[in-house]
Amino acid sequence: MFVPQPALTAYRRDSERLPHAPAVEGLLAGVLVFARLFESIAANAAAFRSKAAQAAATLSRGIDATTVPLRVDTTEAEPDVTLDPTAEEQVLTLVREHELLGAARGSGALPERVRTFADLAELARRIADRAEQAGALDLANSLRFEIERLCELLPAVEHGRVLAQRARVARKANAYEAALHLYKQVGALGRRLDLGELRARARIGFGLLAEVRGNLPEAARHFQTAAREAKRAAVVDVLRVAQRGRMTIAARRGDFSSALVFAWDAYVDACGDSAAEAEMLGNLAQLALDVGRTDAALAGFSAALDRRPGPRIALPVLGGAARAAAALERRELVERFAREIDAYRSDERFAYAIASSLLDLALAFANHDGAAAHDRVTAGLSLAEKYGFHELDFRLREVGERLVTRRRHDTHAEQVQVAPRGETVLRHLIHEATLGEEDRRSSRRRAAVPAH
């Protein structure tokens, strides 16, 4: 079970566990300063709750050791805690200078204003999410504990989101009982306040835990309910996660036709969000590759790249595209995708995605350019060993051994027959690659495909 720990303690634990890469260390330091701000606010929580006229929260490190004043509006039924303009600018400067939200665009970009405590809590939750993605689980959870300690000052839905994120961290750390307890809290909050988003988030968590236990039918039921709740609540990002869960379970059960339909539904729901579209197209293309439809796979991967996604999405898409191109004997495309992946090789902020795409490249090159394949295996192993990516390490070594013995590599699966609804999705996927940007913006003709 996770227990609260001060940000500095969490920082030390993560620093000892994670590799000493400049990008990781810079992010950890930035999250630590932000978390210390939250610890200062938490220390004055009693004053906030009693509607004190003013409470001062002092940063113990960072931002020139200045104070961060907070104001409480006592004219409201509930205290409206706000940062003054100077403190607001200091918070935004901290986030910007440490790149705590990365180079995010659109909905993931740095907000223009952080005026209320609710704004600050939402920003903190996003920063904790970024720390989690970088592997800093202790620091991420420390920050979330601090947010939750002031839950009386949060909108209920934001409190539920924080609980759901803490549950996700517990699940990733194999603390399944702790995760289940937190997901139950999220669900109870959603039922009590009739918040469909929180009920959906809880169901997604239950589905993921059932999947870990190997209970695929139960997982499928939870994801189906989550998708229904998220659709009613019009929470598109949660709906996409639920649909992705349904897709994964269907694929694991060998029902690739249903998996394709669920992935297509998630893509349709992402319409208008280029990053989300790219991610969903990548999922569709990977499914096409899994059923041996390399033509549809290459079309889907190419359509995803046309959305110009960031590295987190682009790298696995490029790796899959290289494998599809190799299967179709499009060597010029393999070389092009390889150059784009190689451009990221020195940027270890995306170490897992780079190592995974290098494995894909090794497979793409294996049957016609052994030297190029060996180079990618060596580079991928270097990252896998440094960061402890054990599964990738095993798979890269397996490819390396085949290269030494000159055994032929299977770059893609044999073609699998899919039901008519699956074929419909594959045709839609090929068509997406023919659309220009203007056609994509103006088109609303993406049809739903029946699930049965």
Domain ranges of the chain: 1-154, 179-253, 256-452
User: Which residue is associated with the tokens 């994801």?
Assistant: 223
How far is Cα 94 from Cα 29, in angstroms, rounded to an integer? Answer: 11
Quote the DSSP letter at residue 18: S
pTM of the full structure: 0.71
Contacts of residue 20, defined as CB under 8 A and 6 or more positions apart, other chains included, come to none
Instruction: Dump the DSSP string for 191-260.
Output: HHHT-HHHHHHHHHHHHHHHHHTT-HHHHHHHHHHHHHHHHHHT-HHHHHHHHHHHHHHHHHTT-HHHHH
How far is Cα 339 from Cα 341, in angstroms, rounded to an integer? Answer: 5
Contacts of residue 193, defined as CB under 8 A and 6 or more positions apart, other chains included, come to 156
Contacts 24+ apart (CB under 8 A), 24-27: 24/134, 24/135, 24/136, 24/348, 24/349, 26/98, 26/99, 27/98, 27/99, 27/100, 27/130, 27/131, 27/134, 27/136
Cα separations in angstroms, 308 against 275, 282, 301, 321, 351: 8, 12, 11, 14, 20
Torsion of CA 84, 90, 91, 93, to 10 degrees: 140
> Which positions of the chain have pLDDT values less than 70?
1-4, 17-24, 38-84, 102-109, 408-413, 436-452
Which amino acid is located at 447 in the chain?
Answer: A
How far is Cα 182 from Cα 195, in angstroms, rounded to an integer? Answer: 16
- Write down the pLDDT at residue 64: 42
